[in-house]
Every structure is written in structure tokens, then in C-alpha cells.
Structure 1
Amino acid sequence: MVMLPLYRFISKTIAPWFIQQTLAERIKKGKELPERIPERKGYSSRPRPEGSLIWIHSASVGEAQIALTLIKNITKLRPEIKFLVTSVTVTSGQMLVKQLPSQAIHQFIPFDVPQWVNKFLDTWKPNLAIWIESELWPNFIEAVHAHNIPLLLINGHLSDKSFKRWGFARGFIRPLLEKFSSLMVQSSEQVQRFKSLGGVNPIATGNLKFAAAPLKCDLKKLKEFKSIVGNRPFWVAASTHDGEEISIIKAHQRVKKSFNNILTVIVPRHPERGPTLKAMMKQYGLKVACRSTNDKLLNTDEIYLADTLGELGLFYNAANIVFVGGSLISIGGHNIIEPARLNCAILHGPHMHNARSVSVLFAKAQGSLEISDEQTLAEAIESLLRNESLRNTLAKNALRVAESEDQAMTRVIKTLNPFLKNL
């Protein structure tokens, strides 16, 4: 119990100074929007709407997609309710600003500094707080509880790394988990994890990423991209991280020996890495077109670097073959449900520990292929390019898995109902 007071003291006194010192660098790296920095310190950029307000927190893009679907479902039951949706990443914030309905407002969540947290809660006065997946901010949890706001966790998930870390700090995490009014988690394995850390009556409602709507795209831009690519064979490497692009480049070079006009589309997880990636690819003698700088994609270009925000849906809609990144290195993998919903044949690496239960479902249904390095990646791409039947079967199996596991939202809404009735 000593750890919590120490955390509060440090976050109240030292953290604000440290955060201030790092903000300039975060802005430079594209991790913060300068005009919205006040929100990260608890200041609101919009007035609170009148009436009942549900606050939904979604850290990044995947959770933001869940938030959009959740709002749609709650609105069917209670159309008068307003929503405040917070996020951390710039990408998720920009996506939410574009896609949130009129009864919802987006703000960036403040850093977990007590005075900033209290300013945020005093301004917005939410009637109910819903956090998605694994955001466990101690000062926020304490303050929400002190403000008598029911706090719910949905789609709860603790990665292997997080579970191990919290396992060494059970005295820290237990009193925080006890303050949640309901813990709705992804699986029976997650139920056991939350229970062992002190969670009170966690229930398995399923993975809400299966319930999220298919990624949207601009149909005009999709038509334009398809027209430019024409009949060229191409594949998409999505949500890639530093350390993976080298393997993707080498896989591209191997595939090119059999398909000399192959186009590889790379969508980095962090678009701000675009200039660095472009320079690296040119060092390998590759012809690169960069989307963020509006480079015209030519037939002679080998790599299309899609370093833009919120366009993953466009490339999933266009593609037949998708490699999902964060899985060739120990990031833990990213969302393979999104390309599955858009009829893609899916490849991923061996490091899927952040989405283990999902990847197991897909593997059992033969809805994805696991590769281990640039050689097996290249071999899989060549095989899928040559064999349309294999490609279609893989995509069909993946879609079947995605559609068969979509009852999680129904279970979540059923659990939410008593809390909604009190608003």
C-alpha cells in the first residue's frame, strides 16, 4: 500500500515538470497536437453538454473503433444520452473527430496527474465512466471513485507482459481493481488473470474487436488507387514497426524474382516514421512513392509508403493479401480481425501474444498463415499470388471466424443495462 501514496506524490509534484520537458519532443515526433496540449492538462476545449454524459476512454485506434460501435448500441436504447470520448494517440483522436456522431465529443485524456485529473472530472462531471481494454491509471481510478462515478472496464485484457508486471505489484493493483463497478473481460483466461490480481467478479463477455464495424474508407480514393494499380500484383504490410520493414523489403526482393512488377504497400503503425523509412528503402535501391507527400504512384515504383492517418481501411478494401505487423518482432501483434472483415488473406508473424486467443481461433479455422521471417513471408506471398483458390479459401475462413464471434457487444450491453437505467 506504500506504493500508491508514493505514486500519487511523484505524479503530483515531479511528473508535471517532467511532462512539460518532454512535450516539445512529443510534438516533434507527432505524438501530440500542439493546439490540443491544454486538454492533456485537464482543460476542456468544448463545453459540457447538458443532460446525462457517459465518458468512454479508448487509448488508441483499435479501442476507438470499439467506442464507436458501443455508442451506436447505447444510443439505440437511450438516444438522449451524450458522450465524451477520450483517447491518447493522435491517430485515434483524428479518427474519432471525423467519425463520432453529433451527440459525442472528443478530448485527449489528461496525463495521470492528480490536479489535472480533478480539473477534467470537475469540468465534465460524467455520470458513468467506461474504459476499454487495459487502461489502468491509478490517479484517475482514485478520483473517479472519489467523485462517486461508476467505473466500468469493457473488453478487459492484460497482456503477458502486463500480467507479469502487475503480479509483482499486487498490493498496488488490488485496491484499484476493487474500485471498478464491473469488469467485463475478453476470455476465461482473462477472468483468471483479473481475479488473481484482486478484480471483483470479472466476467467473460468476449472480444469486442469482433463487434467493431468494418474499417471505413473513402470510396473515391479507393477507386482512384485501384485504377492506378490496375492489374499489378500487390500486397499490403500493415501496422509495421521498426525492425519489421527490413524483413518486408527483403521479402519484396525475393517475390520480385518471380513477379517482377510486384507492388508492396507498407502502412507503418506510426506514420511519422515515413521520411526515415523512405530514406532507408532508397538505400536498398528501391523506387518508392510516398503517400504523405502526394507522390504519384508510377508503374516503375516498387514500394508505396502509405504513411498517412486513418487510411488502413482503404488498403484493406483494395488488397487480397495482408501481412499484419507487430508480429515479426516482440510487439505482440495487431488486429487481424479488421482485414478478416474485408475479405483479405491474412499473414502474421509468430509474436501474437497480445492477441493470442484471437490468433488461435483463426489458426484453428485455417483463417490465417503464420510466417517466421522474410523467407517464409516471401514464400507465402508467392503461393497466395499464384493460387487464387488458396487465397479465397483463407479469406473466406477468416471472414467466417470474424462473423461467428460477434456476440460480445450483446453481452456487454446486457451487463451495462442496469447502469444505463440509473442515468
Structure 2
Amino acid sequence: MRPWRESLWRGIGAAITPLVRHWLHRRIQRGKEDATRLHERFGRPVLPRPADKLIWAHAASVGEAVALLPLLRAVREARPDITLLLTTGTVTSAALVARQSFAGLLHQFVPVDIPSAVDGFLDHWRPDLALWSESELWPGLLAGLHRRGVKLLLLQGRMSARSASRWQLLPGTARWLLGCFDAVYAQTAADAERFRSLGARHVQEYGNLKQAAPPLGCDDAELARLRDAIDGRPRWLLASSHPGDEAIALQADRTLRLRFPDLLTIIAPRHPERGQAIAEDLRKSGACVALRSVDQAPEAEIYVADTLGEMGLWYRLCPLALMGGSLIPHGGQNPLEPARLGAAVLFGPHMFNFSEASADLLARNAALQVQDGIALAETIAALLADPARLAHMGEQGHIYANEQGAVLTRLTKAVLEQI
């Protein structure tokens, strides 16, 4: 007999199924869903279930998938007899997984959390172990795994103080959902304590896989070509920008250009589909802009790098990177990605998504924090005028980022012990 909370959730899910179908078709129209694979969202897989053991790992979007892929690769290398199924919920993450796929890895879109889709997915794939990432908790899927007796681990466990306070308003529901996990591997001691306070079992602090990822790759021939094209130009990167970031970068660019007339500002939007709109807005302000997605050469003042999966290229090209979403209250992007490739790091006051890594980089003199666009331009100018200091920051960041690799080894061991 199902617990009453699960029965209630399934009842709600069944009732709203027509609305969910309508919502998914609207997302197709906006380019947010893959129409050719919509059946996966409804729990109707086409790929056959392999006969050997299968681990299902779920990553909500690009950032979570990037963090999980090295772990899944390590598990597969240790146990070639295991098939890995990775689900994500966005078309951009699906494209990323397709580019970084390896033998033994399958990708599916995660089913929507309605009874028919959940049951169809779990009945077809019958995972031997399930790995959940970070803090996206879908009651139907979690309860379905628990009822089937599938061992379930929460990796990259993250629970902010704000989220914990909200869950404390529904303590029974929190205990029910978190009770589905056989173990929780939290990112920090604070995360671990919040999970324990909400009723999670077997909680341990394990660190952050995003801080343990290998360096982002790139096309070496393209890197050499671009280096030749921009040889000698001072340059800086706005990495993984969000709406609002580009206007700040433009202001900094206008100020910096007075001192560095040959400056190249590279803007790599977090969502590449925004590239054309970003370029149009910048041009309206009088900037000379080139667009990567239409193969324009980086001979302009501002180069909009609106392609997917090329961040490793831009971090190698630029000695200095500002983390997007940090000068606006978004929470920032992963500062260890540029640090791992030897780029000095700048970020604004809003780095709450990566507070631990940011604090460590500041303590190592591998990063600088700026409060606004004016300070940003001043700081970039000082660093571009002092190559030795810029190089030292990059070296310190590289050393620190490489030290974070131990968490990957520990989590790989923990997963293998459960299968």
C-alpha cells in the first residue's frame, strides 16, 4: 500500500496530465523541447534496456551534467559490465551529453513527474542503482524508485538555508522525500547539517564534483587559428553571461578602450540562443560586434561566442575571465573552470552558487571580487597593465583547482560500493 503522500501526489499528477501535455507542446514551440524525442518525456523509451546491470543518473541541466559525466566515465572504466543511463531535462544538456558521450552511456530526457510517465520509465529501465544530483526532488520518481526497492543516492547534495527553511514548513513531506535516499553525499558541512535536520539518512560531506571536473576540452586546431587571428590584442572574457551582464560588460569595454584601443572583449552567453539578440543590442549602442555562430572572424571590438561546448576554447584564449551572473543577483557560474585552465578570475558580489570555491580562490590570491561595473573596468585595466600579476593569479588558481580532484575518486568509490 502506498503512503498517503505518494497517493496524493499521483492523484494530482493524473489530474494535471492534460495541462502537462499542453505545457510540453508549448515548450516545443519555444525550442525548449525536442519534438522528435517527446515520447521520452512521457515515459515511452525507444532504446532497449541492456541485459547487464544499469545505473540511472539524473542531472537537471548543463551544469549538473558536466559535473556527473566524469564520475560516470570513471565508474564505467572501473566496471565495463555496467550500462549508464543519464537523464537530463533540457535540449542544451542533451546536446552536451551527445558531444561528450562514451561507450556504455545512454541518454534520455527525464520523464515528467506524472504517474503514467514515471511508471513507464521505471518499468522499462528497471535500474539497479539510481543517482540523483544536487537538489531537484521529484516526488513521483523518488517514491517510484523507493517502492521498487532501488537503492538511491543523492550526489552533490545542496541545500541552501533558504530552501531548508521552506522545507521546514512541511517537515513530514521533507522526511518522506529525503527518506527515499539511502545515502546523501553533501557538498559542504552546512549542506550536510541541513539535510540531517530535515530527516535525511546516512548524510556525509563529500565535496563538490563541479570542483573536481577535468579541464574543459577544446579543438586544438581552432585554438591555434584563433590565437593567430587575435595575436597581440589585450583581451578579457565575460563567461556564461546572463541578461543584465552584457550591458555591464559593454560599459567596461567602452571605458577600457580609451586605454587599450585594440581591446577584444569576448562575451560567451550562458544560453547561446541569446547570441543574436545580444549582438543586436550591442550594435545599437555603437559597438562593433562579431558573432561566432555565423562564423564571423574575431576582428571586431566585441566577439559574441554564442556556441555550445566551446568554453574551454575561450578560457584558453583569455588570461582573465569575469564570471557571469555575479554582478547581478543570479549567483554566479563555476569559477574553477577558468582557474583550472590558468585564467585569472573576477566575480561580483553575487557568488552564492559557488561561495566556497569563490572564498578559497580569493584566499589564494587567484581571484578578485568587484562590486560594480566601474570597479570591474578599473580592475581589468590594472591587471592587463600588469602581466606578471595576471600570470601569478592564473597559476595560483590552477594549483587550487587541481587540488579539488580528490572528490571524484571518493565518490566513484562510494558509487561502486553500492552496485
The TM-score, its normalising length taken from structure 2, stands at 0.95
Larger deviation, residues 1-10 vs 86-95: 1-10
Q: Does 1:405 align with 2:407?
A: no
CA offsets 1:153-198 (integer angstroms, 9 cap, x no match): 1111123443333233322221110110110111111111111111
**1:38 is the counterpart of 2:39:** yes
What's the CA shift for 1:5? 5.0
Deviation at 1:137, TM superposition (A): 1.0
Q: Distance in 1 between matches of 2:415 and 2:281?
A: 49
Q: SS where residue 418 of structure 2 aligns? A: helix
Aligned residue number for residue 13 of structure 1: 15
Q: Secondary structure at the match of 1:155?
A: strand
Alignment pair present for 1:280 and 2:281: yes
1:5-43 alpha-carbon deviations (Å, 9 max, x no partner) = 5543332211x3223333344234432222222211112
Residue equivalent to 1:118: 119
- Cα offset, 1:66, TM superposition: 2.4
Contact preservation (8 Å) 2:13, 2:113: yes
Structure 2, unpaired ranges of 5+: none
Q: Which amino acid aligns with 1:266?
A: I
1:354 maps to 2:353: yes
- Aligned counterparts, 1:2-401, within 5 A: 6-14=8-16, 16-298=17-299, 301-401=300-400
Shift of the alpha carbon at 1:139?
0.8
Question: What is the CA-CA distance between 1:396 and the residue it aligns to?
Answer: 1.2
Could you say what secondary structure the match of 2:265 adopts? strand
Kept in 1, the 8 Å contact 2:71–2:411? The answer is no
Task: State the alpha-carbon separation in 1 of the partners of residues 294 and 73 from structure 2.
Answer: 35
Paired with 2:358 and 2:93, the residues of 1 have a C-alpha distance of 24
Distance between the aligned counterparts of 1:165 and 1:235, measured in 2?
40
* Cα deviation, residue 72, structure 1: 2.4
Q: Which amino acid aligns with 1:26?
A: R
23-32 vs 335-344, which deviates more? 23-32
The 1:22–1:196 alpha-carbon spacing in structure 2 relative to 1, beyond 3 Å, is same
Asked if the contact 2:68–2:209 (Cα under 8 Å) also holds between the matched residues in 1, the reply is: no
Q: In terms of mean alpha carbon deviation, does 166-175 or 121-130 score higher?
A: 166-175
Deviations 1:337-372 (A, max 9, x none): 111110000011111112111211111112211111
Give 4+ residue runs of structure 1 displaced > 6 Å after superposition: none
Decide whether aligned partners of structure 1 residues 368 and 2 sit closer, same or farther in structure 2, where only a CA change above 3 A counts. Answer: farther
Cα displacement string for residues 121-179 of structure 1 (whole angstroms, at most 9, x for unaligned residues): 11111111011222211111001111211110111112344333323332222111011
Q: How much does 1:4 deviate? A: 5.8
The answer to whether the 8 A contact 2:161-2:194 is kept is no
Deviation at 1:207, TM superposition (A): 1.2
Contact 2:57 2:86 survives alignment (8 Å): yes
Extract unaligned runs of 5+ from structure 1.
none
Could you tell me whether the CA contact under 8 Å between 2:115 and 2:140 is conserved in 1?
yes
Cα deviations by residue, 1:310-347 (Å, 9 ceiling, x for unpaired): 11111112111111111111111111111111000001
Distance 1:182 1:172, change over 3 A: same
Residues 273 and 197 (structure 1 numbering): CA distance in 2 closer, same or farther, change over 3 Å? same
Judge conservation of contact 1:4–1:172 (CA < 8 Å) in 2: no
1:243 and 1:5 map into 2 onto residues whose CA distance is 43
Whether the aligned pair in 1 keeps the contact of 2:75 and 2:416 (CA below 8 Å) is no
Q: Secondary structure at the match of 2:56?
A: strand
Task: State the distance in 1 between where 2:74 and 2:33 align.
Answer: 30
Give the TM-score normalised by the residue count of structure 1. Answer: 0.94
Distance 1:28 1:368, change over 3 A: farther
Verify the 8 A CA contact 1:52 1:81 in the aligned structure 2. Answer: yes
**SS across alignment from 1:360:** helix
Equivalent residues of 2:76, 2:104 under 8 A apart: no
Q: Structure 2 CA distance, aligned partners of 1:406 and 1:282?
A: 42
State the distance in 2 between where 1:372 and 1:160 align: 24
Q: Tell me by how many angstroms 1:303 deviates.
A: 1.1
- Give the letter for the 2:319 counterpart: N
SS where residue 85 of structure 1 aligns?
A: strand
Using the alignment, how far apart are the partners of 2:7 and 2:50 within structure 1?
34
3-state DSSP class of the match of 1:419?
coil
For residues 271 and 204 of structure 1, the distance between their equivalents in structure 2, rounded to whole angstroms, comes to 34
Q: CA–CA distance in 1 between the matches of 2:295 and 2:21? A: 34
* Cα pair 1:42 1:117 within 8 Å, conserved: yes
Opposite residue 134 of structure 1, the aligned amino acid is S
- Does the aligned pair in 2 maintain the 1:65–1:213 contact within 8 Å? no
RMSD of equivalent CA atoms: 1.7
> Given residue 15 of structure 2, which amino acid in structure 1 is its aligned partner?
T
* Alignment partners' CA distance in 2, 1:96 and 1:112: 22
